[in-house]
Amino acid sequence: MAVRVDRRAVSFGLLSSALVGAVPGLLGAGPAWAQKAAKPFPAWVEQFRAKARARGINDATYDAVFRGLKPDTSVYAQDRSQPEFTEQTWQYLNRRVSDWRIATGQERARQYAGLFSRIEEAFGVDRRVMLGYWGMESAFGDVLDNPKHMKPIFPSLAALAWGDPRRRSYWEAELLNALVIVQRGWGTPQEMTGSWAGAMGHTQWMPEVWLNMGVDFDGDGRISPFGRPDDALAGTANYLVKRGKYRRGEPWGVEAKLPAGFNTAFADNKSRRPLSQWGDLGVTTVDGRSLSSYDEPARLWLPGGPGGPALLLFHNFYAVRSYNPSSNYALAVVHLGDRIMGEGAFVTPWPGGERALSLAEVQEVQQRLTAAGFSTGGTDGRVGTATMRAVRAFQQKAGINPADGYASLEVLAALRQGR
């Protein structure tokens, strides 16, 4: 489809990019680091009441939240831990921009076509971006009722506000924001479930985002990231416009082709040049079209290193990135959205990469692992932490190196051979 590249009414076809999904999950196990709270939790709760009152939170709300609450001290280990798995960029993309997410996203795009039209009209944010966020953040809402992924946020936030000496002021502010939400009647402590850090709903809002960027888009008199996706998606679009400065009608970027001998030091994802200047350096679109007539500023990035896809990134890529300060994450969001809308993968192969397993192949891997005694937590074709751990355990048993937890073609072949 034709898309505008600059604000001078010149356009050329937008080529889809294979994007990276959300960052790997944090370790849920391991010894908790010792909490550094100055006093026992009950005493801290009474002391914190003064800050809640100063924020306008009444005692009835405060007592309703904290009565019987026990701090979830498991969050200390999760806050300190590093990602359990490391992935090459092509693995990161393959796992997140998967057949399951693409097919499910296409179904949601049809189901909520009217909602996406209203969001585009009100905020100017393309539905492909919203579908990308929704798929990345909560698998289109699929994980919201899963206690393995989501749990009550108040025990987590209270533990962090009480016992995290490094970012106590941040956690205190988010706990106060969550209390305000309860007092406004937008959510109850039982309804407010999320990640260990307190991110909630279809697009994983922290309490501050819920309070300040949320939109009552379904007109029910309250703002909620749960239930119908209207408020969650509209609020996220509102965030993109107000904090990310998203521009209506502009693409996020385009895949490019570099000339032989190109100085890859220019591809630092930092230096902004008009497309015409990139054209002067010999850069073209991936299908060889000239950039010499365009003045839209862009940055050049090689997400997989030299020899892999080259991306020219425009303003809206960084608007998307404002939601999570990771270029890989932003790439995953926009590429997933493009694939859902029918565009293809990167034209340029990834160095050392391989094709992603199909949905049926992923399900086969999960089924064979489960039958071999490696629990994957399900056989739905979605690769989460449980499947990655099962793959890694099988790789170690079968002598496949590296044992990185990636469900590769080699892993599938080894499972079929009964290794």
84/86 Cα distance (integer angstroms): 7
- pTM attached to this predicted model: 0.87
Residue-by-residue DSSP string for 3-69: EE-STTS-EEEPPP-----SPPPBP--SPPPPP--SS-HHHHHHHHHHHHHHTT--HHHHHHHHTT-
Q: 149 — alpha (psi -120 to 50), left (phi > 0) or beta?
A: alpha
Say which DSSP state 301 is in. E
38/32 Cα distance (integer angstroms): 17
Predicted confidence at residue 84, as pLDDT, reads: 64
**SS3 state of residue 238:** helix
148/138 Cα distance (integer angstroms): 13
Q: 124 — alpha (psi -120 to 50), left (phi > 0) or beta?
A: left
45/63 Cα distance (integer angstroms): 10
Stated as kind and residue range, the H or E segment containing 194 is: strand 193-194
Say which DSSP state 334 is in. H
194/200 Cα distance (integer angstroms): 4
pLDDT in tens, the chain (419 residues): 233 333 322 233 332 222 223 332 322 333 334 456 668 999 999 999 999 999 999 999 999 999 999 999 999 887 665 556 778 889 989 999 999 999 999 999 999 999 999 999 999 999 999 999 999 999 999 999 887 789 999 999 999 999 988 899 999 999 999 999 999 999 999 999 999 899 999 999 999 999 999 999 999 999 999 999 999 999 999 999 999 999 999 999 999 999 999 999 999 999 999 999 999 999 999 999 999 889 999 999 999 999 999 999 999 999 999 999 999 999 999 999 999 999 999 999 999 999 999 999 999 999 999 999 999 989 999 998 899 999 999 999 999 999 999 999 999 999 999 98
Where along the chain do its domains lie? 359-416
Residue 315 CB coordination number (10 Å): 19
368/359 Cα distance (integer angstroms): 14
Stated as kind and residue range, the H or E segment containing 313 is: strand 310-313
Could you tell me the two tokens for 14? 């937008």
Looking only at the bridges linking them, the beta strands covering 284-285 and 310-313 are unpaired
Predicted confidence at residue 80, as pLDDT, reads: 64
Residue whose pair of structure tokens reads 């009100």 in the numeric block: 122
| Greatest C-alpha distance within the chain | 69
Report the DSSP beta bridge partners of residue 26.
Answer: 83
- Angle at which helices 99-111 and 127-138 pack, to 10 degrees? 130
Looking only at the bridges linking them, the beta strands covering 193-194 and 297-301 are unpaired
132/335 Cα distance (integer angstroms): 7
